[in-house]
Amino acid sequence: MQDQVLDEAKRQLAVCNACRYCEGFCSAFKAMTRYRAFDTETVIHMSNLCHNCQACYHSCQYTVPHEFELNLPSALANVRVESWESHVPFPVLSKLFQSSPLVSLVSVVVVSILFWLVAGIPWLAADTFYDLISHSVLVLIFGPLFLAPLLILFVGLGRYWKTVNGERITRQQLADAFRAAANLKNLDGGAGQGCNYEKDDRYSQSRRWAHQATMYGFLLCFASTSIATVMHYGFGLVAPYPLMSLPKLFGVTGGILLTLGTSKLIYLKTKANPLLEASSRRGSDYGFVTLLWFVSTSGLLLYWAGGTTIAGTLLILHLASIACLFVSIPFSKMVHGFFRITALIREAQLQRT
């Protein structure tokens, strides 16, 4: 991690700790009150507690043109991104995925061509999902693509846990952390009024709702796949499943929520102030959210277009986008959710101590 990024964050936190006007805004400011000085481990921990709601910036009296030139959302965002890149193995890949939105787009195009050439899926075919590609081939392709990135991710989380001096985790600490993540309390601006994320400085709950729709949509889609796996291998119930089955109900509902949530996040990103985010990462944020949107939207279209001539094209694009999403989990902004949960667990430990 670059020393100047850490030093700038430490400088700004020292000023904030002397002022404490924003003390109740979020978990990061509540954590700040425990310290008189900020070492590297503490700054990394606090950066991953920050949800970039930006309320502190718009309430601060020491921003530009003041000589202190505070911009804590950006300072912590820079540390946060570098903490992901430095702890996850293969940091070169992290920097690649964080460098440009074109990485996701090019990846989907390349993998689409591979599905066409290697898996033999035709671009135009009036067939259903499993007529175009078998279940065994899907498992053979996506099993390693899912498990290998998860292994890399957990190695990175283990390194992060060691950096922040994490201790043995209890059930109560897990409950506290997942409760905070489930309701996204740290996006309420401290008093329940919401974020100052948009350029007009107004308070809004839009970003919190968009994040919740995205998060719960993703979890429902994951639950759909998990339930289908249990039905297939545990009970011999083979896909395709009817609309009123759990895999379809969870999958369609999750897909709709994920599409709506990511659409709103993309719109809010266009309204956000780039000076309050991580430097040179705005484009990669667009790429990641757009990839999530494409996964959910292509899945919904594939469900409704089954049996039509465009089913083959939609299947190729859908599978390619899922493959790219899986591979990018440890290296793109997808990783932020896992690091934030880990930071919330550590914060639960520190609060109880």
If you write DSSP's letter for every residue of 187-256 in order, what string do you get? GSTTTTS-B--BTT---BSHHHHHHHHHHHHHHHHHHHHHHHHHHHHHH--PSP--TTSHHHHHHHHHHH
pLDDT over 90 (residue 273): no
17-26, 77-86, 101-110, 135-144 — which is least confidently predicted?
101-110
pLDDT of residue 192: 66
Confidence band, pLDDT 50/70/90 cuts, at residue 178: very high
Confidence band, pLDDT 50/70/90 cuts, at residue 140: confident
Whole-number Cα distances in Å, 142 to 54, 135, 137, 199, 323: 38, 10, 9, 41, 7
Average pLDDT over residues 212-219: 95
Return the domain boundaries, the chain: 90-352
Q: What does the alpha-carbon distance between residue 56 and residue 73 come to, in Å, rounded to a whole number?
A: 8
- Higher-pLDDT residue of 142, 239: 142
Cα three-residue angle 241-247-251, rounded to 5 degrees? 115
| pLDDT tens digits for range 298-311 | 999 988 887 778 88
- Higher-pLDDT residue of 291, 105: 291
